[in-house]
Amino acid sequence: AQSVTQPDIHITVSEGASLELRCNYSYGATPYLFWYVQSPGQGLQLLLKYFSGDTLVQGIKGFEAEFKRSQSSFNLRKPSVHWSDAAEYFCAVGAGTASKLTFGTGTRLQVTL
């Protein structure tokens, strides 16, 4: 069965600083990988997805993620964080023919001004 690990429960960065959120997955074949963001009191918004092809994927709101098969990682990055990026970030993996997403435990991002 697939699994996702987000090692950082809580990260604090200053506005304008760069950001990297870590995600490691476990799955035997090529997984389908997603990053979602959840602001307080809201649902999950899809930031970006990786299925195949170019290992560097661009998403919305200036985010990007890089798939590294050798490290089983799919880390999310942003070169300059804005205060509005403060939220909970979930990495998720979909695998096989089932419609199940396996979510990581999430990383809470705090942005200081």
Residue type at 34?
F
Q: Tell me the C-alpha distance between 111 and 113, whole Å.
A: 7
Pick 15 or 72: Cβ nearer another protein: 72
Pick 53 or 113: Cβ nearer another protein: 53
CA distances from 84 to 11, 40, 76, 81 (A): 15, 11, 16, 8
Interacting residues with another protein between 11 and 70 (CB under 8 A): 32, 34, 36, 41-46, 49, 51
Residues within the interface to another protein (CB under 8 A)? 32, 34, 36, 41-46, 49, 51, 90, 94-101, 103-106
